[in-house]
Amino acid sequence: MSKKIIIAIDGFSSCGKSTLAKDLAKKLGYRYIDTGAMYRAVTYYFEENDVNIKEHEAVEKALKDISIDFDYDENTGKQITILNGYSVEKEIRSPEISNKVSPVAAIKEVRSFLVAQQQKMGDNKGIVMDGRDIGTVVFPQAELKLFMTADEDIRIERRYDELKANGENIDLEDVRENIKRRDYIDTHREESPLKQADDAIVLNNSNLTPQEQLLLVYEMVQKKVKE
Ligand code: DC
Any ligand 1 atom below 6 A from CB of 149: no
The larger pLDDT score, comparing residue 79 to residue 130, is at 130
Residue 155 three-state SS = helix
Q: Which residues contact 165 (CB under 8 A, 6 or more apart)?
A: none
Q: What is the pTM of this model?
A: 0.92
133 in contact with ligand 1, CB cutoff 6 A: yes
Output DSSP code: residue 142. -
pLDDT of residue 1: 56
Q: How far apart are CA 34 and CA 22, in angstroms?
A: 8
d(CA 5, CA 8): 10
Q: Which residue has the higher pLDDT, 46 or 16?
A: 46
pLDDT at residue 101, rounded to an integer: 94
Q: How far is the CA of 121 from the centre of ligand 1 (A)?
A: 17
